[in-house]
Each structure stands twice: as C-alpha cells, then as structure tokens.
Chain A
C-alpha cells in the first residue's frame, strides 16, 4: 500500500463515520419528525370529521380548518426541516409501486364507506384516522430498513436504532418506540377531535364550535412545527470537524 491508501483501521473508521451520518440522516427523515406526523394524522382525521358533519353550519369551518392546517403544516415542514424528505430510489413507476398506491387509494376511499355500511359512527373520521395513522406508522417502521438496504455503506438497521436512541435519549427499542407513537397518535387525535365531537353532542353554539375547530387546527400545527424544530436539532460529531 502506498501512503495515500488508508490502513484497514482508517478505512474501518471512515466506514463507521459514513454509517453514523447516514443513519442520522435516514433517522431524521423518517423517525425524528414524528410529532409532525402525529399532527398530520390529527388534521386528516379532522378532515374526515368535517365530512361526517352533514347539515351543520360549522361543517365548512371544521373541514377547511383541518384541510388548510394539513397543507400549512406540510408547507412549513418542507421549508424548515434540516433534511428534506428524501426522494430515495429510482423515480420510474414500477408495477409494485403502482399497486401500493392503488391499494392505498382504495383503502382511503373504501374504508369510510365500509364503516358507514357497518353502522359505525363518524365513519370518515375513523376511516381517515385508521388510514393516516397506519400509513405513517408502517411507513416509519419499514422505510428506514428498506432504505438502509439500498444505501451502499449503511448495512446495519441497528445503526438506525442507535441514532433513534441518541436523538430521543431513550432506552426504548425501535419496536417499543413504534408502540409509543401509536399510543400518542391515538391519544392526541382523540383529544383534539374528541373535543369537537363532545361539543357537537353537548349542542354547543355554532360559532363556538367554529372557533374551537380553527383553534384546534392552529394548535396542532403550532405543536407540530415546534416539536419538529426540536427533534430536528443536529447531533454534533465534533471529531469529523477536528480531522477535516
């Protein structure tokens, strides 16, 4: 080996450095913005709730409040996130990808109809919650592992778990984190949308309900953005800079 070729120890250290940074970026794109994702689930459920509220003067406020909240939150996430949602992999549409998209659309459109026929109350809200929560949670669980397989240097999904632990300062395993996400998503959705349903049952005045719906959407967007910023804070690796 000549002087330019790194020793095996140096090469191993460089690979370790690559793994750390890639795990951090992949984790940051999929796990870290989880409050943002929870907020999206809450807002989409709110849109479903708006669709369920037929013949009510404040239906439009609920529907548009949560719909605009969803777009606003996505817009802010896109503008402010340290790592933008990666456009991983090839862009050409494969049959598998088309089938997945078609399946998701079928579930999104079909689930509320099915729930309605089964006599489940608030079928759109429950259907939208089930669809968005499962999409986010399953996507968050599977995508980093799939991505780890694709990236040349990052071969160990355990590295992503280590990055998750470092960011959250948590002792939980990835599986347990996933369950926590599900619980928090359900609890937050029930808290925000349940408040509106309770107000509807109690027969609150239309203007009060409008204000409640818009305030809830703004609060969800605000919490989503603030926690997104917090969890997006970078993990410093001073050694890399020292050696540059």
Chain B
C-alpha cells in the first residue's frame, strides 16, 4: 500500500514549518525563519503556498510601530500534517529498524 504522503508539505522547509506550528499555538515570523534556517523570501513563499492550500493561517499585526507576522495552523493543516507524519512512520515501520542519520 502506498503511504498517503502529502506532496505539499514534504519539502523539508515546509515540513519544519508545519511541525513547528503543529506543536505551538502561533509562531512569529522571525522565530520560524531563524529556527528553520531559511531566508525571509523563502519562508514567505512556502507559507503562502501552505496558506493557499488552507493548511496555514497568516496574521499580520504590529508590535509598537514594527510590523509582525504570525503563523498558525488550521484544523485542515493539522490533519494533513498528522496524516503525513503517520505515512512517514509507516514507511519506517515497514522497513524495520532504520539507522537514523546522525545530526
């Protein structure tokens, strides 16, 4: 049986973004950018694609005079992420013990 991987969130940067958002309530743009290790433009591009798919909600606001962007995950995104993670776990389980690459 082919695992139900979601091509939209399989790219490493998008997977990291979804993982962060699935674990937290809302995450601030700068924190997400630094944590994932991508540039502003790359993060914006990925976030917009996920927003268009209904996986991520983007909220813009101000802290003082500085504009801030906050990301959150939608219920659809949470379900898609959980299914994707389950599919990854299935791949690993089907293969038996796998040597995880050393970070």
Contacts and interface: CB of A to CB of B under 8 A. Distances in A.
Contacts of A82: 27-28, 30-31
A21 B21 CA distance: 9
A24 interface: yes
Interface stretch (A8-16, A115-123, A170-178): A8-16
Interface of B: 2-3, 5, 7, 10-16, 19-20, 22-28, 30-31, 34-39, 42, 46, 63, 70, 81-82, 85-86, 88-89, 91-92, 94-95, 98-101, 103
Given A28-B24, A80-B63, A244-B11, A21 B16 contact: yes
Size class of the A contact interface (CB-based, 8 Å):
35 or more
A22 B35 contact: no
Contacts, number: 156
- 6 smallest A-B Cβ distances: which pairs? A82-B31, A241-B37, A244-B13, A8-B95, A86-B25, A25-B23
6 contacts: A12-B100, A22-B22, A24-B20, A29-B23, A240-B36, A241-B37
Interface string A1-42: 010111011011111111011111110110000000000000
B15 A14 contact: yes
B22 A237 contact: no
B27 A6 contact: no
Given A25-B23, A26-B23, A83-B28, A14 B88 contact: yes
Contact of B38 (A87, A232, A234, A244): A244
A20 B82 CA distance: 16
Contact of B19 (A22, A88, A147, A236): A22
Given A12-B100, A234-B35, A240-B38, A152 B25 contact: no
- Consensus secondary structure, chain A interface: helix
A22 B88 contact: no
Contact of B5 (A5, A13, A29, A84): A5
A154 interface: yes
Contacts of B25: 29, 83-88
Contacts of A15: 85, 88-89, 92
B71 to A, nearest CB: 10
A238 B53 CA distance: 26
B24 to A, nearest CB: 4
Contacts of B5: 4-6
Given A15-B92, A17-B16, A234 B42 contact: no
A21 B94 CA distance: 24
Contact of A9 (B13, B38, B86, B101): B101
Contact of A240 (B12, B26, B31, B99): B12
